[in-house]
């Protein structure tokens, strides 16, 4: 049987396309920028976003040490049209009360919100926010979120098709066995964050025994499900999923039981290929920070790239986003290095990671 030339060429094209799609993903170090300026001297818990003008912005907390009365929220952004960053400024401070875990959110209207927590103790956290209409140059007065809501506890919010925003949140109790519990908060009027009626709370189904989990990182799997990954006291990464856009959630279960995590903050992203990626500390300590690829049919994750490593201390608490630089797809990760620097590293993505 003789095949027509167009059919042969079409078959070859399909085969070549399949080869391209199946090429192994890679990530190569591109650049490093230290965002912090020695204020504090301790700094931690950075959060990174891209602004509507294409520049980047980051926030973190800084003070004598985590939980000290002088801890404030610091902010820096790229100068428009430049890769230079502005000198960090303090954008949230509660005299005599420490601030914690800032999270930036860019609204559909281009506005920028900084969410953060304030209280002497973590179990007593109150959710606060400020807003900016000019990319962080000027900010509104600080306002408290409605009672019972903390807002995003550490990781980015997820804008939904119906116009609402879903945030991963959690609580750390101070009584009894001091359990850690994950929950999710939805706001149906983004920007009007102080309206109590716009908020609702959603909790994963119970499991026995429950995992002590906090700080869930959300992603949309592109197949009609939302998935969240969280750190745990049990030394594994927990996973829960929702098939109804975050209104109900499955029980928290270990994402990969054979893979350890030292109860440290993580970030979740979905690559253009559809594959889920976590940025986290693997193993039993915070000496290494990796970007890893997840596959449901594999018993362990695959390391895409080592983001950073230290001989002692920690590299931890990543915030990450996918971006382009000079027309090239990149992964950007901000994180803590030994609690003395907030570092931004950029990696070129190629192969199946694109």
pLDDT tens digits, one per residue of 115-162: 999 999 999 999 999 999 999 999 999 999 999 999 999 999 999 999
Q: What is the pLDDT of residues 21-75, one digit of tens each?
A: 456 689 999 999 999 999 999 999 999 999 999 999 999 999 999 999 999 999 9
- Confidence (pLDDT) at 12: 41
Separation CA 93–CA 134 (nearest Å): 20
The token pair at 1 is 């049987």
Strands (E), 175-262: 180-187, 199-202, 213-220, 226-232, 238-242, 253-254
Instruction: Examine the pLDDT at 7 and tell me if it is beyond 50.
Output: no
Closest CA to 296 of 337, 325, 264, 255: 255
213 found inside a domain: yes
- 231 vs 11: which has the higher pLDDT: 231
Band (pLDDT 50/70/90 cuts) for residue 295 is confident
On the 0-12 / 13-18 / 19+ scale of CB atoms within 10 A, 168 is buried
Instruction: Examine the pLDDT at 16 and tell me if it is beyond 90.
Output: no
224 found inside a domain: yes
Question: Are the C-beta atoms of 265 and 276 separated by less than 8 Å?
Answer: no
CA distance to 191, 307, 312, per residue, from 289 (Å): 34, 5, 13
Beta bridge partners of 114: 104, 130
Least confident of 18-32, 176-190, 306-320: 18-32
- 265 vs 18: which has the higher pLDDT: 265
Separation CA 281–CA 303 (nearest Å): 11
Number of structural domains (the chain) is: 1
Side-chain half-sphere exposure of 9, counting CA atoms within 13 A? 3
- 317 vs 16: which has the higher pLDDT: 317
Q: What is the CATH number of the domain that holds 50?
A: 2.120.10.10
23 found inside a domain: no
**Calculated CA dihedral for residues 113, 119, 124, 129, nearest 10 degrees:** -10
290 found inside a domain: yes
Separation CA 200–CA 43 (nearest Å): 32
Separation CA 86–CA 76 (nearest Å): 6
9 found inside a domain: no
Least confident of 33-37, 209-213, 294-298, 339-343: 294-298
Q: What is the pLDDT of residues 65-78, one digit of tens each?
A: 999 999 999 999 99
The percent of residues above 70 in pLDDT, for the chain, comes to 92
CA distance to 143, 275, 320, 345, 353, per residue, from 27 (Å): 40, 14, 14, 12, 8
Separation CA 219–CA 164 (nearest Å): 15
With 0.85 as the threshold, say if the pTM is over it.
yes
Separation CA 42–CA 48 (nearest Å): 18
- Confidence (pLDDT) at 354: 74
84 found inside a domain: yes
174 found inside a domain: yes
Separation CA 259–CA 290 (nearest Å): 13
Identify the helix (H) or strand (E) that includes residue 316.
strand 315-325
Identify the helix (H) or strand (E) that includes residue 9.
helix 5-21
The angle formed by the CA atoms of residues 347, 348 and 351, to the nearest 5 degrees, is 130
Q: Which domain holds residue 239?
A: 28-353
Q: Average model confidence (pLDDT) for the chain?
A: 93
- Confidence (pLDDT) at 208: 84
85 found inside a domain: yes
Separation CA 178–CA 54 (nearest Å): 43
- 213 vs 300: which has the higher pLDDT: 213
């Amino acid at each position: 049987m003789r095949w027509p030339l167009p059919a042969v060429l079409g078959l070859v094209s399909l085969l070549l396309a399949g080869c391209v799609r199946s090429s192994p993903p890679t990530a190569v170090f591109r650049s490093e920028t230290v965002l912090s300026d020695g204020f504090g001297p301790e700094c931690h818990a950075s959060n990174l976003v891209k602004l509507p003008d294409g520049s980047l912005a980051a926030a973190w907390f800084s003070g004598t040490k985590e939980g000290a009365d002088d801890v404030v929220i610091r902010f820096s952004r790229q100068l428009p049209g430049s890769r230079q960053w502005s000198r960090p400024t303090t954008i949230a401070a509660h005299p005599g009360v420490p601030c914690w875990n800032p999270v930036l959110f860019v609204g559909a209207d281009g506005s920028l919100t900084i969410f953060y927590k304030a209280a002497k103790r973590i179990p007593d956290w109150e959710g606060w926010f400020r807003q900016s209409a000019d990319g962080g140059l000027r900010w509104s007065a600080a306002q408290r979120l409605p009672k019972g809501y903390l807002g995003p506890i550490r990781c980015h919010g997820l804008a939904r098709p119906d116009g609402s925003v879903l945030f991963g949140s959690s609580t750390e109790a101070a009584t009894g066995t001091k359990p850690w519990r994950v929950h999710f908060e939805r706001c149906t009027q983004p920007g009007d964050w102080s309206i109590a009626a716009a908020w609702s709370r959603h909790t994963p189904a119970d499991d026995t025994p429950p995992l002590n989990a906090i700080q869930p990182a959300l992603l949309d799997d592109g197949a009609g499900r939302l998935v969240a990954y969280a750190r745990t006291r049990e030394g594994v990464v927990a996973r829960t999923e929702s098939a109804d856009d975050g209104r109900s959630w499955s029980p928290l279960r270990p994402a990969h039981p054979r893979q350890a995590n030292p109860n440290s903050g993580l970030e979740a992203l979905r690559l253009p290929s559809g594959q889920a990626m976590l940025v986290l500390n693997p193993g039993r300590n915070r000496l290494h920070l990796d970007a890893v690829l997840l596959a449901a049919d594999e018993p362990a994750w695959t390391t895409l790239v080592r983001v950073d490593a230290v001989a002692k201390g920690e590299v931890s608490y990543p915030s990450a986003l996918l971006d382009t630089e000079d027309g090239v797809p990149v992964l950007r990760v901000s994180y803590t290095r030994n609690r003395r620097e907030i570092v931004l590293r950029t990696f070129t993505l190629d192969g199946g990671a694109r």
